[in-house]
Structure 1
């Protein structure tokens, strides 16, 4: 090899830096501005047309909303209230806990008192089914669901008043099996919740947008999963998920296995990030990444390209290193690297701008962007190891979902960050 040729290591770093910059550009372009993300579809027809399905109406079909609860989260009452103020005329709210001592019970009693005319049912059931305690709770709650459409939504989700109309509408099409929603995060309480919100708004959500734009439909998010009761029965009910780590993803995957479609609703719901300390946030986010690894190990291995800041720094260093020589090959590679690094930096700033609620938020959180990306890279390394995750104080084995993924077939690499929403 000629002395002026690039080494294998330089080629690898150059390729990875260029790839990371291109991904950052795709992510920035795929994301709408924060203001547009907060707009919920004003009619079911809008929600369906965005996904190229005919217009249907499910306004007069009953909906049972299942919300598994565990503990009194900081904004639990406010979030639950949004589900009580729906325009949909015929819905039931089932709120479930697995312990008679759960602090969430008092919040539910307060909600029932505030909305005495609403169909709000509290399910207190200590029976345990399988290793996934959230699914165990859902199995107990499902016995109380009375309507033909089932909507599962996590406890920390807030919605607007046409949410049920919009997410139920596509289910009137018999080709649609499940409807799911992306979400926007807000930090509640201080510094580390703000860092955690950036994980969702500037890494997770953009990865889903990019994959969806590329044609992927291999996703399902605990923020919202809406399906017909008959479809849930066909996949074996929640019992089919009782030992799954990524239960939201696998519910949708089981429905897709029936030949039915997944619709990503245009409805964007809101979620809270409440982890007050670095250790709590680290545990939650490494759990998300191990969950992704459990669903698609190969795709997990390629997530390194989605963390821009480390690669921007690598690109800048590589540019300086290559430009220090006068060889034409090195100069050309330096120019390529400098161009891609500049594009990547502009794209990362654009993504942060489009995710910011307003100008003040943009400038306040701008110094957190390098920290956020570097932390993601470290969590990715940590997520590559470990056989269990901790969820709500319970240890859940990673291998269960790994074996299920092996039986369920491969996904596209771009689908990997969609495999779990990490709730």
Structure 2
């Protein structure tokens, strides 16, 4: 009998401990989410005009804008035109294209003709510095840029006319005299704000994801700023800083100063943007900043399976770069977090699960919509448009855990028609015929048809 009583006490203590931990985690998660929501309201609902926009060309630092191109991305003309329309007196534009027959060249040439006063250049041909085709495409423009400040913009991004001036303001930051203990800013980035250009279901799910949960956590993490967290849609940094880092995330010292540095050093990574940001943060002991602008991300004809594989790809990349954060990710999602909190409250207070969960999802949705409105600068459109957005949001929340469970067991990813194997620290190599997800091989689900899609490892052909 005494043994049974001891077991009951131990079980009760364990239950109380788990319930307390569950509620503690839920409280922390909500605190982070509300930080993101509040920061979005404060940062994005007012975008003042920078004084640099009306300054003389000789009074502002020059900026080289580099846009890597490949094919006719959604909204390409408007995306590229937005760089010609920047309210900034001293900048140049490089359009980097690997193939002289690329269809994007026609759009570029039309815009150069339309804006003859803008200093624009076309760079055709890539330099093979690694397995990442984007970096290979960027290197020649990177070397030829006239200015130290570089602004790298993806081809599916459109920016407002005042973005560059406000970004340079953020990059310069407050003076060291005014805030002597404040680390200088070495990178300015912009939160992606998606807009679907096609009616495809995956496009709207991607839009709902980027404009709510992703934006909320992205802004919160960068507001707390305990580590680097950067998406490479739109990044502004100094070439002189990049020439001092190599992606090892080890501080620069006199002993390792002669290492391979600069943009070519990041050709071995798939997520080169994230690694550049991390290298600047850790190797130079500097910080990042978000400007009050967004990177308008055009989402084209994305099917639901396209969305699925896109999320799989980046979960697998993050797993090898920030393992602990990737493992915790499911517990930050609304369904898992809500179920943990519901079970904890029922155990501790007897609060009905059927009452808590609807309230939880309703408030979670309300906060996500508030973040969306902050980034958009206007309320969510009413009527069928709003319900379509909410429906896509619900589907995104429901898919989060299944996608994570599938992604976490593999290391192969498909990017721009090529398959890669993600290795330690986010480095990649081309996938070979045997590089099929291990769990698929264990279950004998793979076939010769599946493995035939993988390219043999041949870096000479990159």
Q: Report the TM-score range of the alignment, normalised by the length of the smaller protein.
A: 0.7 to 0.9
Write out aligned runs for 1:230-241 (5 A). 230-235=240-245, 236-241=261-266
- Any conservation in 2 of the 1:68–1:134 contact (CA below 8 Å)? yes
Q: Distance in 2 between matches of 1:40 and 1:264?
A: 12
Question: Cα distance, 1:18 vs. partner?
Answer: 6.5
Shift of 1:79: 0.8
Aligned position for 2:386: 362
Q: Which has the higher contact order (CA 8 A, sep 6+)?
A: 1
Displacement of 1:63 in angstroms is: 0.6
57-66 or 88-97: bigger deviation? 57-66
Q: Does the aligned pair in 2 maintain the 1:63–1:90 contact within 8 Å?
A: yes
CA distance in 2, matches of 1:44, 1:379: 46
The aligned counterpart of 1:418 is none
Mapped to 2, the partners of 1:227 and 1:292 lie a distance apart of: 22
Paired residue for 1:198, among 202, 208, 212? 208
* 1:240-271 Cα shifts (integer Å, max 9, x gaps): 10101221111112212112222222222211
Helix, strand or coil at the partner of 2:320: helix
Equivalent in the alignment of 1:352: 368
1:253 aligns with 2:269: no
1:21 Cα offset (Å): 6.7
- In the alignment, which residue of structure 1 is the partner of 2:187? 178
> Is residue 228 of structure 2 the alignment partner of residue 218 of structure 1?
yes
CA distance in 2 between partners of 1:43 and 1:4 (Å): 63
Picking from 382, 385, 396, the partner of 2:420 is: 396
Distance in 1, Cα, partners of 2:14 & 2:274? 38
User: Is the alpha carbon distance of 1:85 and 1:108 closer, same or farther for their aligned partners in structure 2, counting shifts above 3 Å?
Assistant: same
| 1: CA distance, partners of 2:356 / 2:108 | 53
Aligned length: 384
Q: Is the 8 A contact 2:202 2:302 kept in 1?
A: yes
2:310 alignment partner in structure 1: 284
1-side partners of 2:59 and 2:230: how far apart?
Answer: 23
SS at match of 1:42: coil
Write the distance in 1 (CA, Å) between the matches of 2:204 and 2:31.
23
Measure, in 2, the Cα distance between the counterparts of 1:304 and 1:72: 35
The answer on whether the counterparts of 1:21 and 1:340 sit within 8 Å (CA) in structure 2 is no
CA RMSD of aligned residues (A): 3.2
Which residue does the alignment assign to 2:398?
A: 374
Give the Cα–Cα distance (whole angstroms) in 2 for the partners of residues 343 and 172 of structure 1: 44
Q: Partners of 1:272 and 1:62 in 2: how far apart?
A: 28
Contact 1:86 1:161 in 2 (8 A): yes
Q: Is the 8 A contact 1:312 1:344 kept in 2?
A: yes
| 2:202–2:303 Cα contact (<8 Å) kept | yes
Larger Rg: 2
Per-residue CA deviations over 1:170-201 (Å, capped at 9, x if unaligned) read 33358222211212111220122110111211
CA distance in 2, matches of 1:28, 1:162: 28
Is the contact between residue 36 and residue 218 of structure 2 (CA under 8 Å) also seen in structure 1? no
Shift of 1:118: 1.2
Aligned to 2:160: 160
1:69/1:201 CA distance change after superposition, 3 Å: same
Distance (whole Å) between structure 1 residues aligned to residue 239 and residue 420 of structure 2: 27
Q: Residues 209 and 74 (structure 1 numbering): CA distance in 2 closer, same or farther, change over 3 Å? A: closer
For residues 77 and 86 of structure 2, the distance between their equivalents in structure 1, rounded to whole angstroms, comes to 15
Is the Cα contact below 8 Å between 2:270 and 2:426 reproduced in 1?
A: no
Contact 2:195 2:297 in 1 (8 A): yes
In 2, distance between residues paired with 1:146 and 1:177? 19
1:246 and 1:295 in contact (8 A); partners too = no
Who is 1:112 aligned against?
112
1:304 equivalent among 330, 335, 344? 330
TM score, norm. by length of structure 1: 0.80
TM-score (norm 2): 0.74
For 2:434, the equivalent position in structure 1 comes to none
> Per-residue deviation at 1:138?
1.2
Q: Cα 1:59–1:291, aligned 2, differ >3 Å: closer, same or farther?
A: farther
Q: CA separation in 2, counterparts of 1:58 and 1:336?
A: 67
| 8 Å CA contact retained: 2:43, 2:292 | no
Q: Deviations over 1:97-141 (max 9, x none)?
A: 111222211111121121122111111114322111111111122
Relative to structure 1, the CA distance from residue 186 to residue 11 in structure 2 (aligned partners, 3 Å threshold; closer, same or farther) is: farther
Larger displacement relative to structure 2 (77-86 or 384-393):
384-393
How many angstroms apart in 1 are the aligned matches of 2:94 and 2:46? 26
Check 1:170–1:319 CA distance in 2 against 1; reply closer, same or farther (3 A cut). closer
Q: What residue is the counterpart of 2:459 in the other structure?
A: none
Contact 1:79–1:155 under 8 Å retained in 2: yes
